[in-house]
């Protein structure tokens, strides 16, 4: 008689065809391995976030005509993120880096509710740092979105 503990302690067998370890990021979501529609890497996502923050910082400095307020910068960044993703599917930083925010459950636009929830989670930064097996941040997983290459 086989030991019961062996079934869950040893993990799946190599030939079982288990999808727990996908071949590439996005495989479980049905996304391509590379090119348009493939998941964006961490460095490109961070660079897009940095560009968006610098744009918000510049607008904040113009409004206050002095050293910008961090609260105003955060508010501007939040509004830009929600409005741009809702209307266009990408923020200015994502556009410059050829990225796009898409829904993974349907081929439709992200919508204001998902864009608002995604941006609200991004305010805390921490959800974006933790990724799942597909390489999506917790904020994308919670809202059913993914950041993919647009071209």
Calpha distance 102→29 (Å, rounded): 12
Q: For residue 16, what pLDDT band results from cuts at 50, 70 and 90?
A: very low
- Tokens at residue 112, please? 């204001």
CA 136 to chain centre: 6
In the chain, the percentage of residues whose pLDDT exceeds 90 is: 30
DSSP result, 19-42: TTS-SSTTGGGT--SSSTTSBPPH
Please tell me the predicted confidence (pLDDT) of residue 14.
52
Calpha distance 113→66 (Å, rounded): 34
Calpha distance 129→5 (Å, rounded): 34
pTM of the model: 0.75
pLDDT digits (tens, 9 = 90+) for 85-110: 999 989 999 999 999 998 888 788 88
Please name the residue that has the structure tokens 């391995």: 33
pLDDT digits (tens, 9 = 90+) for 37-96: 778 788 888 899 999 999 999 999 888 887 668 889 999 999 999 999 999 989 999 999
């Amino acid at each position: 008689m086989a030991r019961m503990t062996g079934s869950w302690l040893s993990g799946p067998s190599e030939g079982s065809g288990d999808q727990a370890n996908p071949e590439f990021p996005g495989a479980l979501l049905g996304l391509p391995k590379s090119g348009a529609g493939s998941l964006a890497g961490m460095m490109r996502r961070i660079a897009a976030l940095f560009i968006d923050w610098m744009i918000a910082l510049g607008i904040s400095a113009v409004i206050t005509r002095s050293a910008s307020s961090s609260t105003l910068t955060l508010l501007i960044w939040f509004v830009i993120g929600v409005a741009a993703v809702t209307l266009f599917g990408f923020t200015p930083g994502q556009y410059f880096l050829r990225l796009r925010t898409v829904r993974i459950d349907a081929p439709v636009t992200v919508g204001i509710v998902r864009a608002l929830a995604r941006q609200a989670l991004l305010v805390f930064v921490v959800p974006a740092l933790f990724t799942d097996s597909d390489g999506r941040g917790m904020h994308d997983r919670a809202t059913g979105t993914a950041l993919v290459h647009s071209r």
